[in-house]
Amino acid sequence: MGLFNDLGRKVEELKQEVENASDEEATHRCGACEALLYPDHDECPECGEPSVSPVETE
Ligand SMILES: [Zn+2]
């Protein structure tokens, strides 16, 4: 079972890396559902609302 445990852990690490990267690169946020978005969206792909505004980065 050790092999499966190692594989599962690697998948979890990879998922977290992807999530972190998404948070860092997202520059816009949907005002309706608060989904983090990328600059090339005119409307939210999650809920379809056009209320996408830039996120202030600190
Ligand atoms: Zn939305």
Distance 12 CA to ligand 1 centre (A): 26
Domain boundaries, the chain: 2-54
Q: Which residues surround ligand 1, an ion (CB under 5 A)?
A: 30, 32-33, 35, 44, 46-47, 49
Residue 58, pLDDT score: 64
Residue 1, pLDDT score: 61
Residue 35, pLDDT score: 92
Residue 32, pLDDT score: 94
Residue 3, pLDDT score: 77
Measure the CA angle with vertex 38, ends 50 and 43; round to 5°. 15
User: Tokens in use for 38?
Assistant: 């990328």
> For the chain, what is the largest distance between any 2 Cα atoms, rounded to a whole number of angstroms?
48
Secondary structure percentages of the chain, helix, strand, coil, to 5: 40, 15, 45
Q: What is the mean pLDDT of each run of 10 residues along the chain (58 residues)?
A: 82 74 75 87 89 80
